């Protein structure tokens, strides 16, 4: 017999008792290899709620809820990158040292580069970023025409950096996910336009996530190039110091200033206010730095070879996840940007043996009808079947993981007409709604 297609198969109920989300704070105590300093809120909350588990310094197990959230974040990033013409690729993480020696970054990167040798004694590194690799790809292409530019290639892959101080959980790992995009343009002017459109896409991405983000002038570091901006989420634990003018649009990372000055270099009158930020994205206008070295050229309108103008654009995918938790959450529980919450709804049936016990059936029916009536909630509704626990205890767990909506099915569900208690995380409101009211809300 034919197997039903996945979309037609009925979705199994997600039971809290079966979800793998081990609260793992106490587990790490004995093992010094695992005993990370709990230095920030997002790391503590993510370990308490069973979202991540430390493996070795700067490396984590991403547990199911994290993977779900990451997949959602990747989807939003894909939408924004593809809306400006980005095409997704996937490049090797194992990179030949030859490329890095050619760009002279083999030495420049110092200890941050994870280096290894293959069986033939050839040098390799684990990619911390991919300017060399992607430019080589373009250089290999003999017949790239100006008609194919701008070309925007991006990937979302693991990056490896031997950070001097991996810390703050997913905020600074040694192995982490980055979205890195590389652009190839016919001229400096065209490259600036591409640069601008990527910055706008970043701004749009953070707006969709509901995260306040500031775009500041930044240093180009060892990537090199002429123009650069960082996208920073204001937060006290942020490691970057930002200067923002109170009177005009000027904003910059302190690293770009030769001395610390207090008057705005742009309007000359405004005072600069200092704050801290978490760098979640970084854009660079590279010019011909890499395309010249690797001879990445295209044939121009006169059918002559011409060196491409390049840009590169990073987003810290795992860092965005942790930074969102860091800036949105309370000390007691995680608050997510709605778009990337691992699950949208949690339904709580009454405690076994309580007066409202019979409402358990209504709760189960509710879970099924939410998934069946509202397609966007398919696979998004969790049923907290741990009915030996009080509602209060389960509510506390729900609040720790941070579902955008929690529905308590109690005595009200047995009345005529039935009502449900709904807690909306974003507004902090509690409402008593009929089933139709509930479907409208969700
Ligand atoms: P930082 O200043 O925080 O060390 P960076 O300037 O070295 O970051 P970039 O080379 O600009 O980082 O990389 C692009 C993006 O990758 C950063 O904006 C950040 O969001 C993310 N990122 C960089 N290093 C890490 C890391 N160790 N862990 C998680 N994300 C990172
Ligand atoms: Mg760094
Ligand atoms: Mg930086
Ligand atoms: Mg940077």
CA of 58 to the centre of ligand 3 (A): 17
CA of 128 to the centre of ligand 2 (A): 10
Q: Whose CA is nearest to atom 18 of ligand 1?
A: 281
CA of 222 to the centre of ligand 2 (A): 10
Q: Whose CA is nearest to atom 19 of ligand 1?
A: 316
pLDDT digits (tens, 9 = 90+) for 247-261: 999 999 999 987 797
pLDDT at 111 over 60: yes
pLDDT at 35 over 60: no
CA of 319 to the centre of ligand 2 (A): 12
| Choice among 130-134, 152-156, 254-258, 343-347 with the minimum mean pLDDT | 254-258
Q: Report the residue among 158, 254, 316 best suited for mutation to probe ligand 1: largest number of ligand atoms under 8 A from its CB.
A: 316
Write the CA distances from 355 to 347, 358, 405, 411, integer angstroms.
18, 8, 24, 7
Mean pLDDT of 293-306: 97
CA neighbor of 403 nearest in space, from 348, 347, 358, 344: 344
Average pLDDT value over all residues in the chain: 92
Separation of alpha carbons 156 and 78, rounded Å:
9
Contact indicator for 306, 155 with CB cutoff of 8 Å:
no
- Give residue 5's pLDDT: 59
Q: Which residues does a 6 A CB cutoff place in the pocket of ligand 1?
A: 129, 161, 163, 172-173, 176, 178, 279-282, 314, 316, 318-319
Top-confidence residue, 223 or 434:
434
pLDDT at 348 over 70: yes
pLDDT at 440 over 90: yes
Contact indicator for 162, 111 with CB cutoff of 8 Å:
yes
Write the CA distances from 235 to 172, 278, 378, integer angstroms.
15, 6, 35
Separation of alpha carbons 151 and 91, rounded Å:
16
pLDDT at 4 over 90: no
Confidence class for position 170, pLDDT limits 50, 70, 90? very high
- Which atom of ligand 1 lies nearest, measured to the CA of 240? 2
In this prediction the pTM is 0.94
Confidence class for position 27, pLDDT limits 50, 70, 90? very low
Top-confidence residue, 24 or 268:
268
CA of 347 to the centre of ligand 1 (A): 38
Confidence class for position 76, pLDDT limits 50, 70, 90? very high
């Amino acid at each position: 017999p034919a197997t039903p297609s996945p979309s037609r198969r009925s979705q199994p109920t997600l039971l809290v008792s079966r979800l793998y989300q081990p609260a793992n704070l106490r587990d790490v105590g004995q093992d010094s290899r695992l005993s990370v300093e709990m230095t920030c809120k997002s790391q503590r909350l993510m370990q308490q709620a069973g979202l991540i588990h430390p493996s070795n310094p700067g490396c984590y197990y991403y547990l199911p809820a994290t993977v779900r959230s990451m997949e959602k974040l990747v989807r939003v990033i894909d939408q924004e990158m593809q809306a400006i013409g980005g095409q997704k690729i996937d490049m090797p993480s194992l990179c030949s040292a030859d490329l890095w020696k050619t760009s002279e970054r083999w030495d420049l990167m110092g200890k941050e580069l994870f280096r290894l040798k293959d069986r033939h004694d050839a040098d390799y590194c684990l990619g911390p970023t991919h300017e060399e690799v992607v430019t080589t790809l373009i250089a290999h292409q003999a017949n790239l025409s100006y008609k194919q530019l701008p070309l925007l290639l991006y990937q979302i892959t693991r990056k490896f950096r031997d950070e001097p101080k991996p810390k703050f959980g997913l905020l600074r790992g040694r192995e982490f996910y980055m979205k890195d995009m590389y652009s190839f343009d016919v001229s400096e002017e065209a490259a600036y336009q591409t640069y601008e459109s990527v910055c706008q896409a970043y701004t749009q991405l953070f707006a969709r996530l509901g995260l306040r983000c500031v775009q500041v002038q930044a240093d180009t570091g060892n990537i090199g190039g002429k123009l650069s901006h960082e996208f920073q989420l204001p937060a006290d634990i942020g490691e970057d110091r930002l200067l923002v003018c109170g009177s005009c649009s000027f904003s910059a990372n302190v690293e770009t200033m030769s001395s610390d000055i207090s008057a705005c270099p742009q309007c000359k009158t405004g005072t600069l206010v200092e704050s801290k930020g978490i760098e979640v994205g970084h854009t660079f206008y590279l010019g011909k730095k890499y395309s010249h070295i690797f001879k990445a050229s295209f044939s121009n309108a006169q059918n002559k070879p011409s060196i491409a103008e390049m840009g590169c654009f990073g987003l810290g995918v795992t860092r965005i996840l942790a930074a969102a938790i860091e800036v949105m959450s309370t000390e007691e529980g995680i608050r997510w940007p709605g778009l990337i919450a691992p699950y949208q709804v949690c339904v709580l049936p009454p405690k076994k043996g309580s007066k409202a016990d019979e409402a358990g059936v209504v709760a189960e029916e509710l879970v099924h009808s939410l998934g069946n009536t509202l397609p966007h909630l398919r696979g998004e509704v969790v049923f907290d079947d741990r009915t030996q626990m009080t509602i209060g205890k389960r509510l506390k767990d729900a609040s720790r993981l941070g579902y955008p909506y929690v529905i308590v099915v109690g005595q009200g569900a047995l009345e005529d007409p039935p009502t449900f208690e709904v807690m909306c995380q974003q507004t902090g409101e509690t409402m008593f709604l009929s089933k139709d009211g509930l479907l409208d809300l969700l």
